[in-house]
Amino acid sequence: MKAVIQRVSSASVTIANKKVANIDNGLLILLGIVEDDKDEDIKWLVNKITNCRIFNDDNQVMNLSLIDINGEAIVVSQFTLQASTKKGNRPSYINAAKPEVAIPLYQDFIKKMQSILIKSVQTGQFGADMKVELLNDGPVTIIMDSKNKQ
């Protein structure tokens, strides 16, 4: 399970000209799922993301987590994070989980994150054509992969 985590001053998701998610200070999380992802991948990744100290403290040092700042989050499913670009010029998405595997894992990820955060976790819509807007704060962008824990 891969996640691209972006610290944002604001972010939103629009589907068919309707804004379905909108946050201020927090994280925009793009989530890519593979077939062999399990509950332990979700638990590890949610814990790392919610406790990652990437928000500034009073001394402008990145020393606070999403939990510490009572921040907001948007989680967007993005199968293209699992692209393989080793051969040719067209990315292969063969490693991305099929919807019947990915959707339940995506929903579990959101539920586990919601159980940790005080504010509700907003989302895009799995499989939809989404327009994602963000104001990256910093910029701070971090990539996490549950398959690279060590």
Closest CA to 122 of 113, 130, 131: 113
d(CA 122, CA 64): 21
Q: CA nearest 66: which of 56, 52, 87, 84? A: 52
Smallest Cα–Cα separation from 26: which of 63, 72, 74?
72
Query: Is 80 marked active-site?
Result: yes
Please tell me which residue in 79, 82, 122, 123 is annotated as part of the active site: 79
**Which among 42, 44, 41, 71 is positioned nearest to 55, based on CA atoms?**
71
Which secondary structure element, helix H or strand E, spans residue 83, and what is its range?
none
**Spatial contact of 63 and 53, defined as CB atoms under 8 Å apart:** yes
Residue 45 and residue 34: Cα distance in Å, rounded? 14
Q: Is-catalytic flag, 126?
A: no
The verdict on whether 125 is a catalytic residue reads no
Which residue in the list 6, 50, 78, 82 is annotated as catalytic? 78
> Which residues form the catalytic set?
78-80
